[in-house]
Chain A
């Protein structure tokens, strides 16, 4: 089944404790991206990648890191999480490097206390 998977789905952590949210797609897509969704602010893009070893900042990259060492994986790293990073996070992928027609993973709900 073609899909984007994220792990974990739910995470509660404390301020400053480094964490990684994994994202994997099995569709051989070139483009992958991370979003956060907050009430009243909608979906905002954090980082995106058009290919292996190619990443670029989205609208809200501060406090996040990403890497794209393999085509199928695009982990999101929070080196020192803070409460304002409490949010619902989505990974997405697209067969087009331009990021058209993106398909979303199930989401990761992160709470930072």
Chain B
């Protein structure tokens, strides 16, 4: 069983729509959660971090965390073609020491 799971996609949304990306994790004591964006051929870029239950907003991005259900999501409002990329969910927990465990990523395609 993978520790961090994401739907590989592709998730296709029209320009201007809300893109919703989901991630589930298996380690109940996970503490910190991150979303990275990775364009094809480039390195992952940190876009959001969330540490407590609830929502965290940053511009067009909102991260949502529900520790009881062990999922974290990323909403992208007013999606733009430039948002087309692979989004990686990453989790850091006590059981993992100081390691970051990544999901396989969801490929997002925003169509003009």
Contact = CB atoms under 8 A, between A and B. Distances in A.
Interface of A: 31, 33, 40-45, 48, 50, 56, 58-59, 90, 97-107
Nearest to A49: B98
Interface of B: 32, 34, 42-46, 49, 88, 92, 97-105
A43 B43 contact: no
Contacts of A97: 98
Given A42-B102, A45-B99, 4 more contacts: A43-B44, A48-B99, A99-B100, A104-B44
A40 B43 CA distance: 17
6 contacts: A31-B98, A40-B104, A41-B104, A48-B98, A56-B98, A59-B99
B92 A43 contact: no
B103 A90 contact: no
A84 to B, nearest CB: 19
